[in-house]
Amino acid sequence: MTTVDTSTSRGRFAFRELTTPLGPRIRRLANTALARNAGATRAWYGVLALAAFCSWLGYVGVRTLMNAGDLSNALSSARGRTVGPILLVFIGVILLAEQLWPAVRRPLFSRAQVVDAAYLAIFAIVVLPLLTLVETGFDVETTAHAHFLELGRLPLGPQVIVSGLILIGIDAMNWAAHVANHRSLTLWRLHALHHSQEDISVLTTFRTHPLIHASYLPSLLPALVLGASGSVPAIAILVYGCLITLPHANLRWRFGPLGRIFVSPAYHRLHHAAVFIDDRGTVNFGFVLVCWDQLIHRAVFPTDATPIATGISGRPVPVEQSRSAVAAPLVVMAQLAQPFTRRASTDGSS
C-alpha cells in the first residue's frame, strides 16, 4: 500500500495556484518598468540631442551675423521687436486688470508672480539673444538645404493679405509644435515647466525652458515660404505677441462670440487644468486661433464661471508654492536642470 503525503501535495497545489496567475502579471509589470526606463533614456538622449542641435544653429547664426558685421544690431533689434515697450506696457495693463477682475484673487507680488517675472527677465536678457542666433542659423540652413520651400512672388494682392496669411501660418505652426510638446516625451520634459504654474497669470507666458523654443522654429517657415510676396510689419508681430500673452492672464474673460475665434483666458485656462476635464486628455492647444483645436476635436469652450485649478497633478516639477520664498532662486535652478536628469519625474505625466 502506497501512502501519499497529502499535506505536501496540498501545499504544492496551493503554491502553484497562488503563483501561476501572478506570473503574467509580474511579467507585465516588469515589461512596463523596462518600457518606462527605456522611454526615459530616449527622452534624456533627446534633450541632449536638442541642446546639441541648438548649439550648432547658434554657431551658424553667430558666424553669419559676424561675417555680415551685424551681430550687435541684430541682437538689439530682436529684443526691441519681441520684448519692447509696447509689450511691456501691455503686460502692465493686464497685471492691473488681474487685480481688478481676477479669476482667482491673489496678491500682486505673490511668490508665483515673482518667479514668473524672473522668467521674463531671463527671457529678455539671456534667452532672446540666444534664440535670435538660433533662428538666424535655422534660416540660413533652411535656405541652403531647403530652398525649394521658397515660393516666387505670388499675386496675393495688398500687403495686408500677405501679412495675414503669414501670421495665420505662424499660428498654425505654433499650434502644431504645442501639440508635439504634449506628445513627445523629450519635448514634454521641457514643456512641463510651463504647465507647473499653479497660479497662472499673464507673466506665465514666459515661464518656459530655454530649449523648448527650438520646437517652435518651424513657425519661421511661413515667412520664408511667402517672403518673396512680402513681409510682416513689426507692429503686426508685436500685436501677435500680445495676443499670445493675453490667454495666460488671471482673468475670467471669454470674449463673448469672439471666443469662438480667438483664444481667451478662460479658454486657455482649461488647457492648464491640473486634472483632465474629460477623457480626451489635454485640450485647447491654440495660441491665438481656436480653429486648429476644432479640427482635431480638442476645443472645449468654458461654460462655468468657476475657474479650475491649474498645474500638474503630483507636482513632478519643483514648484515655488512648496518652498519658502527665499528658496525661489533654487527652485528656478531645479526647474531648469530637471530635463537633463537621466530619469525625470515628468516622464509619463503629460
Grid cell digits, residue 148: 525649394
Distance of CA 190 to the CA centre of its chain: 7
pLDDT grade for 7, boundaries at 50, 70 and 90? very low
Instruction: With beta carbons less than 8 A apart as the criterion, state whether 349 and 316 touch.
Output: yes
pLDDT at 1 (0 to 100): 44
pLDDT grade for 306, boundaries at 50, 70 and 90? confident
Given a cut of 50, is residue 17 above it in pLDDT? Answer: no
Q: Which amino acid, one-letter code, is at 137?
A: G
d(CA 165, CA 159): 10
d(CA 202, CA 324): 23
Closest CA to 89 of 210, 263, 274, 238: 238
259-268 long-range CB contacts below 8 Å, 24 or more apart? 259/290, 259/301, 259/302, 260/290, 260/301, 261/289, 261/290, 261/291, 262/288, 262/289, 262/290, 263/287, 263/288, 263/289, 263/290, 264/302, 265/103, 266/103, 266/302, 266/307, 267/300, 267/301, 267/302
Closest CA to 261 of 287, 237, 282: 287
pLDDT at 119 (0 to 100): 96
pLDDT digits (tens, 9 = 90+) for 123-163: 999 999 999 999 999 999 999 998 888 888 888 888 899 99
Grid cell digits, residue 19: 503563483
Question: 209-224 burial, b for 16+ CB within 10 Å, e for fewer?
Answer: bbbbbbbbbbbebbbb
pLDDT digits (tens, 9 = 90+) for 220-252: 999 999 988 888 998 999 999 999 999 999 999
Grid cell digits, residue 172: 498654425
Given a cut of 60, is residue 332 above it in pLDDT? Answer: yes
d(CA 330, CA 328): 5
Mean pLDDT of 115-125: 94
Given a cut of 80, is residue 29 above it in pLDDT? Answer: no
Closest CA to 39 of 178, 177, 211, 184: 184
pLDDT at 220 (0 to 100): 95
pLDDT at 9 (0 to 100): 47
Domain boundaries, the chain: 16-340
Rg (CA), the chain: 25
pLDDT digits (tens, 9 = 90+) for 37-80: 777 899 999 999 999 999 999 999 999 999 988 888 877 777 66
- For residue 343, give the H/E element and its range: none
Q: Which runs of consecutive H residues, i.e. helices, occur in the chain?
A: 6-67, 71-82, 85-100, 111-122, 128-145, 159-183, 185-195, 221-225, 234-245, 265-271, 291-295, 328-337
314 Rama class: left (phi>0) / alpha (psi -120 to 50) / beta: left
Closest CA to 268 of 299, 294, 306: 299
Instruction: With beta carbons less than 8 A apart as the criterion, state whether 132 and 78 touch.
Output: yes
